[in-house]
Amino acid sequence: MVWSDPLLRHKTSPMKHAVTIAGGGLAGLSLGIALRMRGVPVTLHEAGTYPRHRVCGEFISGVTDSTLETLGIAEDFLTATSLTSAVWHDTRGRVCELQVAGRGISRWRLDDALQRRFTTLGGTLATHSRIAPAPGTIWAAGRPRRHGPWIGLKCHATNLPLSHDLEMHLGSNGYIGLAPIEDGKVNICGLFKKSPTRGAKGTSLLTTILREGGLHDTADRLESATLDSSAFCGVAGFETGRQPSEGFSIGDATHMIPPFTGNGMSMAFESAETALPHALSYARGECSWDSASSSCAADLENRFRARMLASAAIHTLLTSPKASRLATTLARSSLLPIQPLLHLLR
Ligand SMILES: Cc1cc2nc3c(=O)[nH]c(=O)nc-3n(C[C@H](O)[C@H](O)[C@H](O)COP(=O)(O)OP(=O)(O)OC[C@H]3O[C@@H](n4cnc5c(N)ncnc54)[C@H](O)[C@@H]3O)c2cc1C
C-alpha cells in the first residue's frame, strides 16, 4: 500500500540535495522518517538525547491514521493506550463528562521509537548537537524561548486510580490533566501561571501549585500515589499561539496550540505531513529552498489557522478566573456546547 504513494516516486528520480533537520522531537523525527522512506539523505541534529522525559500531557488526540501512515510511523502507536472518556472538574467538583478519541503513550517511549526508526532507515542522527538556523535546515526545534506567563510541569505516577481515561482539573491558576500511558502508569501534566514566591521544588512543586489553585482533592490524590521523581520535568519561558518563526519551520516552532487541546503532538505530525511534499521537491531539485519554505509556511497557516484561533479563545476563557467561572457554570447546566467546541480544536 505504501508504494502506491505518489510521493514515493524517488525510485526513478535521483536526489539533488540532502536535507538537514534541527530538532529531534515529534515534528523533526517524523519528517526525517518520511523523507528517508522516499530516499532523501537526511541528517538530524538533536540538542538532547534519547530516551528522555519531556513536559507533555502524553495524550494524543486528532491525528489520523492516514497522517501516521504517510509519515511511516503508524506502527509506533500500536502499543499506545486507547482513551475515550474524559471528565472536567474545577475547584467546586465535577463540571461535565466528555467523549474523546485519544491515545496515551509516554514521550520516553514514543520519541525513542521514532529515533530508532529514523536511524534504521539510514538517517544520520547527531545527538547532543545544538545547531543554529541556516538556509537548507528545516527548523523543528520546538517552542522558542519567550517571556511567557506559564510554567509547565509533568510527572508519572503509579497507584493513581482514575475515574475516566482523561481527567482535567481546572484551578484558579491553571489546569492539570491525568491520563494513562503504558505499563499501568499515569501521566500528570499541567500548565500554571508563574509565581516568583513558590519555594517548593520537584514533585512537591506540583502539589503546592495545585493547592494554591484550590485543587486540594487532586493534590491529596497525588500525595497518596507513588510519584516517579525521575520522570519529573518542568518548562517555562514560552507563549502559546503563532510563533515568530522564519524560514522552513514546523511543529511548535511555528504554531504552539494551548496544551489543554491535547492536539500539539498531532500538529507536530500534521506539520511534518504538510512539509513533506515541499521538502521532497527541494531535495529533488524541483524548487529552490526559498520557494519550498514559503509554500510550506502558507500551507501550514491554512491548515492550522482555524484551530489556533478557536484554541486561543478557549484558552483565555479557561485561564481567566471570572470567565472560567461563567464557563463552568454554563457547562454544569449543559448550556455550553462542549463537544462542538472540541471539534473546532482539531
Ligand atoms: C505543559 C504542556 C502539556 C502538553 N500536553 C500535551 C498533550 O497532552 N497532548 C499533545 O498533543 N500535546 C501536548 N503538548 C504539546 C506537545 O508537547 C508539543 O506540541 C510537541 O512536543 C511539539 O513537537 P515538536 O517536535 O514541534 O517540538 P519538541 O517535541 O519540543 O521537540 C523539539 C526538539 O528540538 C530540540 N532542539 C531545540 N533546539 C535545538 C537546536 N538549536 N538544535 C537541535 N535541536 C534542538 C529539543 O531538544 C527537542 O528535542 C503539551 C505541551 C506543554 C508545554
Q: Is 57 in the pocket of ligand 1 (CB under 6 A)?
A: yes
Q: Is 140 in the pocket of ligand 1 (CB under 6 A)?
A: yes
Task: Please state, rounded to an integer, the average pLDDT across all residues of the chain.
Answer: 93
The pLDDT-based confidence of 1 (bands split at 50, 70, 90) is very low
- The tens digit of pLDDT for each residue in 168-180 reads 999 999 999 999 9
- Dmax over Cα atoms in the chain, in whole Å? 63
Q: Domain containing 33: what range?
A: 2-343
> Which atom of ligand 1 is nearest the CA belonging to 271?
26
**pLDDT band, residue 13 (cuts 50/70/90):** low
Q: How many CB atoms lie under 10 A from the CB of residue 69? A: 14
State the closest ligand 1 atom to the C-alpha of 133, by its place in the atom list counted from 1.
Answer: 41
Write out pLDDT tens, residues 17-26: 999 999 999 9
Average pLDDT for residues 231-238, to the nearest whole number? 94
Which residue lies with its CA nearest to atom 27 of ligand 1? Answer: 142
The per-residue pLDDT for 340 is 83
Å from CA of 336 to ligand 1 middle: 31
End-to-end Cα separation, the chain, in angstroms: 27
Output the nine-digit C-alpha cell for 315.
Answer: 484558552
Ligand 1 touching residue 345 (CB < 6 A)? no
pLDDT tens-digit readout, 249-296: 999 999 999 999 999 999 999 999 999 999 999 999 999 999 999 999
Give 104's strand partners: 59, 81
The answer to whether the CB of 258 is under 6 A from ligand 1 is no
Average pLDDT over residues 202-224: 95
pLDDT, residue 6, reads 57
Q: Residue 93's pLDDT is what?
A: 94
DSSP string, 196-252: TT----THHHHHHHHHHTT-HHHHHHHHHSEEEEEEEEEEES---EE----SSB-GG
Give the model confidence (pLDDT) of 143-193 as tens digits. 999 988 999 999 999 999 999 999 999 999 999 999 999 999 999 999 999
Give φ, ψ of 54 to 5 degrees: -135, 150
The mean-pLDDT minimum among 55-64, 320-329, 332-341 falls in: 332-341
Residue 131 pLDDT greater than 90, yes or no: yes
For residue 135, the domain's CATH number is 3.50.50.60
Percent of the chain with pLDDT over 90: 82
State which amino acid sits at residue 214.
Answer: G
Q: Which numbered atom of ligand 1 lies nearest the CA of 252?
A: 26
Q: How far is the CA of 276 from the centre of ligand 1 (A)?
A: 19
Q: Is 270 in the pocket of ligand 1 (CB under 6 A)?
A: no
Is any ligand 1 atom within 6 A of the Cβ of residue 213? no
Q: Is the CB of 153 under 6 A from ligand 1?
A: no
Ligand 1 atom nearest to CA at 267: 19
For residue 342 and ligand 1, the question of a CB distance below 6 A is answered with no
The mean pLDDT of 220-242, rounded to a whole number, is: 95
Query: Which triple of cell numbers denotes residue 77?
Result: 502507536
pLDDT band, very low/low/confident/very high, at 2 (cuts 50, 70, 90)? very low
Is the bond leading into 149 cis (omega within 30 degrees of zero)?
A: no
The whole-number pLDDT of residue 327 equals: 87
Answer left, alpha or beta for residue 265, where phi above 0 means left and psi between -120 and 50 means alpha: alpha
Mutational pocket test of ligand 1: of 46, 53, 56, the residue with most ligand atoms within 8 Å of the beta carbon: 56
Task: Identify residue 207 by its one-letter amino acid code.
Answer: T
Q: How many domains is the chain built from?
A: 1
How far does the centroid of ligand 1 lie from the alpha carbon of residue 7, in Å?
27
Going from the Cα of 193 to the center of ligand 1, the distance in angstroms, rounded, reads 19
**pLDDT tens digit sequence for 64-118:** 999 999 999 999 999 999 999 999 999 999 999 999 999 999 999 999 999 999 9
Model confidence at 229, pLDDT cuts 50, 70, 90, reads: very high
Is the confidence at residue 335, as pLDDT, over 90?
no
Is any ligand 1 atom within 6 A of the Cβ of residue 170?
no
pLDDT of residue 14: 80
What pLDDT was estimated at residue 331?
A: 87
Q: Ligand 1 centroid to 120 CA: how many Å? A: 23
- When pLDDT is cut at 50, 70 and 90, the band that residue 343 belongs to is confident
The pick from 265, 270, 273, 300 for probing ligand 1's pocket by mutation, whose C-beta has the most ligand atoms within 8 angstroms, reads 265
Predicted confidence band of residue 245 (pLDDT cuts 50, 70, 90): confident
- Does residue 271 contact residue 142 with C-beta atoms inside 8 Å? no
